[in-house]
Structure 1
Amino acid sequence: MNENNERRIAVYTGSFDPITLGHLHIIHRASRLFETLVIGIGINAEKGSLFSPEQRRELVRTVTKDIENVRVEFFDGLAVDFVRSLGSRLMVRGIRPMTDIAGEFTMMMANRQLDEDVETVFLMADERFSHVSSSLLKQIASVSRDDEQLAKFVPREIIAPLREQMGA
């Protein structure tokens, strides 16, 4: 694939367990920057997940169905290998101020060592979502019975499956 095509496809990887409003905001913004945005749902059998990979894919597809240039796929192994397998060399990462910068910088440097041609594009989280994480969301969902409170962190389409999965 030529370099021009490699720049048209960007890849946003993560566990998306579950997808949050912060993730969705990054997806919307990245989808306007690239011709194709692939959401790569990482599969890590050793990491305990709330949702199965198939459930996560379906939830991501549900909340991104109106974004024409987004597709959702699974991957295991190295993210840089997944990016290259798609004919891309661009990774998108969302970062929250203060909490993600060091970790994301370390990951970017490791990825550059693994494949120096893969570039990482960082999109700063909007201040409305800079505190949102899947782990925070799970904590709130476990104690809050108010769907309006959850809707501040997660797309509404995710609330019922989240409650069902958590037995809440």
Structure 2
Amino acid sequence: MVRAFFPGTFDPIHYGHINIARRASRIFDELIVAVYDRPLKSLLFSPEERIALVRAAFKEEENIRVIGYRGLTVDACRMNGAQVIVRGLRVFSDFEYEFRMALANQRLGPDIEVVAFITDEQNTFLSSSTVREIASLGGDVSSMVPPHVALALHRRFFELGEGQQIVPQTSLRD
């Protein structure tokens, strides 16, 4: 059995993430979508909220399991019996970042392979930070995220109100 580990902050999960996960789930026996709890960036949703949003996105997928994790990704892979890390590539600039991360993970976990999926063309512009920014400005994100995520975004920005710094400055590499 080959188990793969798809890590990310998923703040929020969008159709690009979902596409990569579904394609990976067709190749591997089991895919663990792993929501990282404390990245070095500001988050809109708590780890529990992000896990719930991701679980709802994959509730019909039999071989996709959703967990939260902290610490090194390679350690989480080992604890969950995963032999492969799945990553997604959207644009050329993603490659350099992912290449460096793959080399670091290879150094830390030479027994764990990294497999990169190139996103579908219609998702190349999608990033969680783009979705957050559009949603914060009242834009329609229904073509970018599942309905339950669009609703969660709408609610969160309503809770935050106007005049606050509600779109954290983040990298487009999430």
* Shared fold, TM over 0.5: yes
In the alignment, is residue 54 of structure 1 matched against residue 48 of structure 2?
A: yes
State the alpha-carbon separation in 1 of the partners of residues 97 and 28 from structure 2: 25
| Of 29, 34, 37, the match for 2:23 | 29
Matched-pair contact (CA < 8 Å) for 2:9–2:39: no
SS of the residue aligned with 2:11? coil
Partner of 2:146: 155
The 5 A counterparts of 1:111-122 are 111-122=105-116
Matched, 1:137 2:131: yes
Matching residue's letter, 1:107:
M
**Paired position in structure 1 for 2:11:** 17
Shift of 1:124: 0.2
The 3-state SS of whatever aligns with 1:37 is strand
**Aligned amino acid, residue 52 of structure 1:** S
Q: Distance in 2 between matches of 1:151 and 1:30?
A: 24
Q: Answer with 102-111 or 83-92: which moved more.
A: 83-92
Across the aligned residues of Structure 1 and Structure 2, the Cα RMSD in angstroms comes to 1.3
The alignment of Structure 1 onto Structure 2 pairs a total of residues equal to: 159
Q: How does 1:33-44 map to 2 (within 5 A)?
A: 33-44=27-38
Displacement of 1:142 in angstroms is: 1.3
Q: In 2, distance between residues paired with 1:38 and 1:152? A: 25
Q: Runs of 5+ in structure 1 lacking a partner?
A: none
**TM value normalised by structure 2:** 0.87
Asked if 1:82 corresponds to 2:76, the answer is yes
Structure-2 separation of matches of 1:45 and 1:10? 21
Residue type of the partner of 2:72? L
Secondary structure of the corresponding residue to residue 40 of structure 1:
strand
